[in-house]
Amino acid sequence: MEAFPRLSKGNGVPARDPKLHWVETVEANSKIRFRCWSPAIWEVWTHYSGRTQPCFENHDLCKGGHDESTLRWYGYVFGYHEHRRGPGFVQLTVGAARLWMAQIADGVSLRGMVFDIQRGASKKGPQLLNVVHYVHNSEEQMGKDCDPQLSLFRMWHVNHLGHALKLSLVSGPADIPEGLSDDGCLKTHTGALSSKEGKRASRGKSTSRKPNRKREPA
Ligand SMILES: [Zn+2]
């Protein structure tokens, strides 16, 4: 029997650099309990066309150019991975972030919350997130929040020198951009919407460009 559920293929990072941490992507058929140390979700944009590439703050750096049709949203929080018995990040889909925000008061700190996150048998299936403890731990029992950039660059095999991800902060449902499907794609590019929904989605998209609160690296 494995000591902890099988983790993502080859994206673990060695613990030598204190800023590099495991990024848990919650594979099919796994369930993870996680103790959140981040006060809010780190919002990260990526491009996906066969493999995930970061969307940089400077779009000139986006590999193959900044293409809105391949944009994908992910959320990350740092904390304690109870199955790995150590610190790390967990990657959240839009659907999981929405589920989380629906279970808590708007704008409340996520720091100290414990949640279960799981995915069913399908690799692309939805993530389910369930808060199991809302009460904050005492500060001594928690580590500091951590900026996910270095760990993500490592996971994506990207040379990060001088590059900055497009990062924002999510601490309530209003901070999650509108017009996204639960797996993080812009609905206007899936072609699956009615014209009414499509209009709403494109409005949402433009409001999502409003500068979210910027976040200082931890
Ligand atoms: Zn981009």
Amino acid identity of residue 88, one-letter, is G
Predicted local distance difference test score (pLDDT) of residue 159: 81
Q: Residue 193 has what pLDDT? A: 40
pLDDT band at 140 (very low <50, low <70, confident <90, very high): confident
Contact 7, 155 (CB under 8 A): no
Task: Give the mean model confidence (pLDDT) for residues 189-206.
Answer: 43
Distance 167 CA to ligand 1 centre (A): 12
State the total domains in the chain.
1
Residue 70's domain spans which residues?
Answer: 22-208
| Residue whose token pair is 């989380």 | 100
d(CA 176, CA 165): 17
Structure-token pair, residue 21: 């941490």
pLDDT at 199 (0 to 100): 40
Ligand 1 is an ion; its neighbours by CB within 5 Å are: 55, 59, 62, 66
Distance between Cα 66 and ligand 1 center (Å): 4
196, part of any domain: yes
pLDDT tens per residue across span 119-132: 988 877 899 999 99
pTM for this prediction:
0.78
Residue among 150, 166, 158, 149 nearest 71 (CA): 166
Expressed in angstroms and rounded, the spacing between residue 51 Cα and the centre of ligand 1 is: 14
pLDDT tops 90 at residue 59:
yes
CA 24 to ligand 1 centroid distance, Å: 23
User: Do the domain assignments include residue 2?
Assistant: no
pLDDT tens track for 29-56: 999 999 999 999 999 999 998 889 999 9
Identify whether 180 is part of a domain.
yes
